[in-house]
């Protein structure tokens, strides 16, 4: 007979009396349940009674008979007669043992006992011979996934149908008019688990992805798993906290960094070398400064005429200077002087301020041109540069970690409602979004295959398509922590423990790494790294050098024409 005596919050003392001797074991658990059976029928009836108890208990039935081979066969036959009842309450992780009762003293580590390990899988009761070490150890008894398998049962695996835009996820082949998983990233993983756990795969067509985690319970394949239409979803799904209350994720098998895709912009393009030195805000500020200088001169002249009842000689140069105020403002930014010097102190201060502003702008513009021409591409190396240069962020509508990252980069609340305008599909990003001053956040192995398909309309050779992607787009890593995805089963499924143990074994043996590396190589475009070589600035871009000459020549010529027109108009007015 055995009893459980509580000694503290976490330790139970197990006392067993054998031949007037007491043997004590200490177990760090509170879930042992011991029963005693007189004969085989009593053991089966006790088994039926305790099968309705908590699934986490370790149920030990002490049989007061020796488990000889004949007794074991008879006991298995009696248990199978009750399989309809037991199959409803037991599962693959049930811990139910029938152990023969001992009538000899037991020493720790010196004795084992014959036992029957009883569990159910797929509604069928399994009874297996098992030797347990004494004293009973919870840690060893609970490692059921090391000794059990699925005995060839069929598991329904849900995955999306074959997609030409993502051809390397799961591939199928038809045999005897039935689909069969052939390969692909998720396909190889589930085939490894099937071999390790001894079950057969029954492919189930997925009805859709899970949807946004902010819209409530997930749909699509999550509903299929919940409704027992599928036992496991093998589609790699983002592991998000909002989803974990509805489904149980397995160990992540997919890890990939989040990238921002932008269109490459050459700094040496003829249409950009002049205007790209300053951004739009700076150019606007320069225009406002030019208008302010001109208006200030006009206003000062008007005030001076109002304050003096008669116009004296010293107002003549001020009046003439104010008439060509805007022309002088253009000359200031081009480092051109003026043949007129105002007499009044306020106008001289305005003139001096304008000359200083012109010098500062000229130096800044020259430094910006040198910086632009010293590099072949835009100096964007991180997400901070994208924020600094005012890029607008879009995210892949199917990658919700990308949407969160876009909100962080834009200094927006994480719990803000999903913006349908910024969370777009890859097709939309390829067509319109990436042609603007914008960055598209997503996963490389999803975006590149879709880009390849979209470029097939204009380019036929695959190598040319890859060159087009490398020459047109660049990617920047946004987060150092990779996005983790994995398969999932229904909430609190008994299969989780077995799958996770085999996935860990797969990772330790390097199978997942090799499989993912092959998949990533097939799905993405590997662009060659170009190292910059030192070249003199004047030979790096000859056309840009000529354009610099035009930048200085054209404004000077324009000023000369304006001056000629101005003096011609003044002469006509004086003659009249």
Q: Could you write out the DSSP letters of every residue in 384-396?
A: HHHHHTTPEEEEE
Q: Is 362 exposed, middle or buried (0-12, 13-18, 19+ CB in 10 A)?
A: middle
Residue 504 is predicted with a pLDDT of 93
The strand ranges marked E within 122-208 are 124-134, 153-159, 171-175, 178-183, 199-205
* φ/ψ (deg, to 5) at 362: -65, -45
H-helix segments, 473-526: 496-508, 511-523
The strand ranges marked E within 43-147 are 58-63, 95-100, 111-121, 124-134
Q: In the chain, where does the domain assigned CATH 3.40.190.10 lie?
A: 150-255+485-530
Pairing outcome for strands 95-100 and 58-63: parallel
C-alpha 96/C-alpha 119 separation (Å) is: 7
Q: Does the N-terminal peptide bond of residue 135 adopt cis geometry, omega within 30 degrees of 0?
A: yes
8 A C-beta contact, residue 262 and residue 434: yes
Helix (H/G/I), strand (E/B), else coil: 470: helix
- In 3D, which of 444, 393, 385, 439 has the Cα closest to residue 419? 393
Residue 14 is predicted with a pLDDT of 37
- In 3D, which of 51, 26, 47 has the Cα closest to residue 136? 26
The end-to-end CA distance of the chain, in Å, is 131
C-alpha 35/C-alpha 20 separation (Å) is: 20
Pairing outcome for strands 473-477 and 58-63: unpaired
Is the CATH code 3.40.190.10 the one for domain 150-255+485-530?
Answer: yes
8 A C-beta contact, residue 30 and residue 118: no
Residue 155 is predicted with a pLDDT of 93
Residue 241 is predicted with a pLDDT of 87
Residue 3 is predicted with a pLDDT of 35
- In 3D, which of 285, 287, 291, 361 has the Cα closest to residue 326? 291
Residue 6 is predicted with a pLDDT of 31
Residue with tokens 């149920």: 59
C-alpha 272/C-alpha 372 separation (Å) is: 10
Cα 484 to Cα 242, 252, 398: the distances in Å are: 14, 6, 14
Residue 386 is predicted with a pLDDT of 85
Which tokens in the block code for residue 533?
Answer: 């070589």
C-alpha radius of gyration, the chain, whole number: 40
Residue 518 is predicted with a pLDDT of 92
C-alpha 546/C-alpha 1 separation (Å) is: 101
Which tokens in the block code for residue 246?
Answer: 């509805």
- In 3D, which of 207, 279, 219, 262 has the Cα closest to residue 243? 219
Q: Name the DSSP letter for residue 135.
A: S
| pLDDT string in tens for the chain (576-residue length) | 333 333 233 323 333 433 333 333 333 234 778 888 888 888 888 888 876 666 667 888 888 888 888 888 898 888 888 888 888 888 888 888 888 875 544 444 557 788 888 888 878 888 888 888 877 777 778 777 778 889 889 999 999 888 878 888 888 888 888 888 888 899 999 999 999 999 999 999 999 898 888 777 888 999 999 999 999 999 999 998 889 889 999 999 999 999 999 888 765 555 566 666 777 777 788 788 878 877 887 787 777 777 665 555 445 576 777 777 777 777 777 777 777 777 777 777 877 788 788 788 878 877 777 766 665 555 677 888 888 888 888 999 888 888 888 888 888 776 666 666 788 888 888 877 777 788 999 999 999 999 888 888 777 777 788 888 888 888 889 877 889 999 999 998 888 988 999 999 999 999 999 999 999 999 998 887 655 555 555 455 556 666 666 766 777 788 778 778 877 776 776 665
- In 3D, which of 162, 232, 260 has the Cα closest to residue 473? 260
C-alpha 195/C-alpha 274 separation (Å) is: 65
């Amino acid at each position: 007979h055995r009893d459980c005596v509580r000694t503290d919050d976490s330790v139970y003392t197990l006392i067993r009396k054998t031949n007037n001797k007491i043997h004590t074991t200490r177990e760090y658990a509170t879930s042992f349940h011991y029963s005693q059976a007189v004969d085989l029928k009593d053991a089966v009836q006790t088994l039926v009674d305790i099968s309705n108890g908590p699934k986490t208990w370790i149920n030990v039935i002490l049989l007061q008979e020796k488990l000889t081979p004949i007794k074991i066969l008879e006991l298995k036959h009696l248990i199978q007669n009750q399989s309809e009842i037991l199959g409803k309450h037991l599962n693959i992780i049930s811990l139910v043992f029938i152990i023969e009762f001992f009538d000899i003293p037991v020493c720790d580590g010196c004795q084992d006992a014959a036992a029957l390990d009883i569990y159910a899988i797929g509604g069928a009761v399994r009874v297996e011979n098992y030797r347990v070490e004494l004293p009973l150890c919870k840690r060893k008894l609970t490692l059921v996934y090391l000794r059990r398998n699925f005995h060839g049962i069929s598991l329904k695996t849900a995955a999306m149908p074959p997609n030409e835009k993502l051809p390397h996820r799961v591939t199928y082949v038809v045999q005897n008019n039935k689909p069969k998983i052939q390969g692909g990233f998720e396909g190889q993983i589930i085939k490894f688990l099937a071999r390790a756990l001894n079950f057969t795969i029954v492919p189930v067509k997925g009805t859709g992805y899970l949807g946004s985690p902010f819209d409530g319970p997930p749909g699509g394949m999550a509903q299929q798993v919940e409704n027992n239409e599928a036992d496991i979803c093998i589609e790699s799904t983002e592991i998000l906290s909002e989803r974990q209350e509805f489904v149980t994720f397995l160990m992540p098998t997919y890890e990939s960094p989040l990238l921002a895709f932008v269109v490459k912009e050459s700094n040496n393009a003829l249409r950009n070398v002049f205007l790209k030195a300053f951004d739009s805000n700076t150019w606007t500020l320069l225009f406002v400064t030019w208008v302010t200088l001109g208006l200030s001169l006009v206003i000062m002249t008007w005030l001076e005429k109002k304050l003096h009842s008669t116009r004296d000689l010293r107002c003549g140069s001020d009046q003439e200077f104010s008439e060509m105020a805007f022309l002088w403002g253009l000359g200031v930014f081009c480092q051109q002087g003026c043949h007129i010097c105002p007499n009044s102190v306020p106008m001289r201060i305005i003139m001096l301020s304008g000359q200083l502003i012109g010098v500062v702008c000229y130096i800044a513009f020259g430094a910006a041109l040198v910086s632009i021409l010293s590099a072949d591409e835009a100096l964007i190396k991180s997400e901070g540069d994208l924020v600094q240069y005012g890029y607008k962020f879009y995210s892949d509508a199917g990658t919700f970690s990308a949407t969160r990252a876009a909100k962080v980069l834009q200094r927006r609340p994480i719990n803000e409602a999903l913006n349908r305008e910024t969370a777009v599909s890859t097709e939309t990003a390829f067509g319109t979004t990436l042609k603007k001053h914008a960055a598209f956040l997503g996963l490389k192995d999803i975006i590149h295959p879709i880009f390849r398909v979209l470029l097939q309309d204009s380019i036929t050779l695959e190598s040319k398509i890859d060159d087009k992607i490398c020459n047109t787009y660049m990617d920047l890593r946004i987060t150092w922590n990779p996005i983790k995805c994995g398969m999932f089963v229904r909430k609190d499924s008994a299969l989780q423990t077995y799958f996770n143990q085999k996935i860990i074994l797969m990772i330790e043996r390097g199978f997942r790494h090799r499989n993912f590396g092959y998949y990533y190589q097939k799905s993405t475009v590997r662009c060659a790294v170009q190292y910059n070589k030192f070249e003199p600035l004047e030979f790096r871009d000859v056309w840009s050098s000529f354009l610099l000459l035009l930048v200085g020549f054209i404004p000077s010529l324009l000023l000369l024409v304006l001056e000629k027109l101005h003096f011609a108009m003044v002469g006509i007015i004086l003659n009249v």
